[in-house]
Structure 1
Amino acid sequence: MEPSASPCKRSGWPSPSVSRATSGSRTTSPGFRPSRWKTCSARRAFTCARKTASLAGSSRQATHRKTSRKTLMAISDLTRQSLPGPHNIVRTVLDNGITVLVYENHATQSVVLAGSLATGSIFEPPEKNGLASITAASLMRGSETRTFDAINSALEDIGADLDIDAGVHRTGFFGKALAEDLATIAGILGDVLQQPAFPAAQIERLRGEIITGLKIRQQDTRYRANRAFHEQLYPPNHPYHRSVRGTLDTVPQITIDDIRDFHRRHFGPSGMIVAVVGAVRADEAIDIVRHALERWRNPDQPEAPPLPHVAAPTQTQRRFVPLPGKTQADLVVGTIGPARKDADYYAAMLANSVLGQFGMMGRVGEKVREELGLAYDVGSSINAGHGPGPWSVSAGVNPANVDRALEAIVAELERLVREPVSAEDLENVQSYYIGRLPLQLESNEGIANTLVNIETYGLGLDYLLRYRDTIMRLTREDLLAAAQRYIKPDALVVAVAGPESRPQSAS
Structure 2
Amino acid sequence: MKSFAKLGLAIWLTILLSLYNLSSAFAVDIVQVTSPGGIHAWLIEDRSNPIISMKFAFSGGSSVDPEGKEGLANLVAATIDEGAGDLDSQAFQAKLNDLSISLGFDAGREFFSGELVTLTKNKAIAFELLGLSLTGPRFDREPIERIRSQISLALKQRADDPGYKAQSTLRTLYYPNHVYGRANDGTLESLKNITISDLKSYLAENIVQNNLTIAVVGDVDGVELGTLLDQTFGGLTQKSKPFRVSGASPAIKGGTIILDEDIPQSEVIMAHRGISRDDPDYYAAFIVNHILGGGSFSSRLYQEVREKRGLTYSVGSYLSLLDQAPLVMASVATQNERVAETIRIMKEQWSLMAEEGPSEQELIDAKTYLTGSFPLSFTSTGRVANILLAMQLNDLGIDYLDQRNKYLEAVTLEDAKRVAKELFKPDSLTVVIAGRPVGLEEEAPLPFEQ
Same structural fold, with TM-score higher than 0.5 when normalized by the shorter chain: yes
Q: Letter of the aligned partner of 1:431 in structure 2?
A: T
> What is the RMSD of the two structures over their aligned residues, measured on CA atoms?
2.6
What secondary structure, in the 3-state scheme, does the structure 2 residue paired with 1:296 have? coil
Percent of aligned pairs with the same residue? 26
- CA deviation after TM superposition for structure 1 residue 230, in Å: 1.8
1:276 aligns with 2:220: no
**Alignment-derived partner of residue 261 in structure 2:** 323
* Local SS of the residue matching 1:270: helix
SS of residue in 1 equivalent to 2:299: helix
Distance apart, 1:503 and its partner CA: 4.0
Structure 1: tracts of 5 or more residues without a match:
11-47, 49-77
Match in the other structure for 1:231: 172
Which residue pairs with 2:82 in the alignment? 141
Report the Cα offset of residue 346 of structure 1: 1.2
Alignment-derived partner of residue 412 in structure 2: 475
More relative contact order in 1 or in 2 (CA 8 Å, sep 6+)? 1
State the distance in 2 between where 1:376 and 1:193 align. 44
* One-letter amino acid of the structure 2 residue matched with residue 113 of structure 1: M
Flag the 1:241–1:361 CA change in 2: closer, same or farther, 3 A: farther
Q: 1: CA distance between counterparts of 2:26 and 2:49?
A: 16
Tell me the CA shift for residue 182 of structure 1: 2.1
SS at match of 1:107: coil
- Provide Cα deviations, 1:383-429, integer angstroms capped at 9, x if missing partner: 21422322111001112211111111111110110002011111111
Counterpart of 1:410?
A: 347
Distance 1:373 1:382 in 2: 25
Could you tell me which residue of structure 1 aligns to residue 11 of structure 2?
Answer: none
Count of residues in Structure 1 that have an aligned counterpart in Structure 2: 428
Cα gap change, 1:385/1:182 in structure 2, threshold over 3 Å: closer, same or farther? Answer: farther
Structure 1 Cα separation of the partners of residues 429 and 221 of structure 2? 51
Amino acid at match of 2:275: P
Within 5 A, what are the aligned runs for 1:103-118? 103-118=44-59
Out of 443-452 and 242-251, give the one that drifted further. 242-251
> SS in structure 2 opposite 1:250?
helix
Match of 2:12 in 1: none
Q: Is the 1:225–1:321 contact (alpha carbons within 8 Å) kept by the matching residues of 2? A: yes
Scaled by the length of structure 1, the TM-score of the pair is: 0.79
User: 2:173, 2:251 within 8 Å by CA — same for their partners in 1?
Assistant: no
Q: Does 1:297 align with 2:237?
A: yes
Residue 216 of structure 1 corresponds to 157
* Counterpart among 241, 249, 252 of residue 310 in structure 1: 249
Q: In the alignment, does 2:335 pair up with 1:395?
A: no
TM-score, with length taken from structure 2: 0.89
Counterpart of 1:286 (choices 216, 226, 249) is 226
1:356 to 279, 293, 297: 293
State the Cα deviation string for residues 140-187 of structure 1 (Å, max 9, x = none). 112233211121111111112111001111111112121222222211
Q: Deviations over 1:468-494 (max 9, x none)?
A: 210001012222322332322111111
User: Do the aligned partners of 1:403 and 1:506 also contact (CA within 8 Å) in 2?
Assistant: no
Q: Distance in 2 between matches of 1:117 and 1:473?
A: 33
How is 1:413-492 mapped onto 2 (pairs within 5 angstroms)?
A: 413-492=350-429
Q: Contact conserved, 2:255 with 2:442, CA < 8 A, in 1?
A: no
Residue in 2 aligned with 1:153? 94
Tell me, yes or no, if the aligned pair for 1:115 and 1:173 is still in contact at 8 Å.
Answer: yes
Task: Determine the C-alpha separation between the residues in 2 that align with 1:384 and 1:309.
Answer: 12
Q: Does the 8 A contact of 1:90 with 1:102 survive in 2?
A: yes
Contact 2:105–2:114 at 8 Å: present in 1 too?
A: yes
Aligned mates of 2:312, 2:188 — CA distance in 1: 31
Residue aligning to 1:171:
112
1:129 deviates by 1.5
**Shift of residue 365, structure 1, vs aligned partner:** 0.6
2: CA distance, partners of 1:349 / 1:440: 17
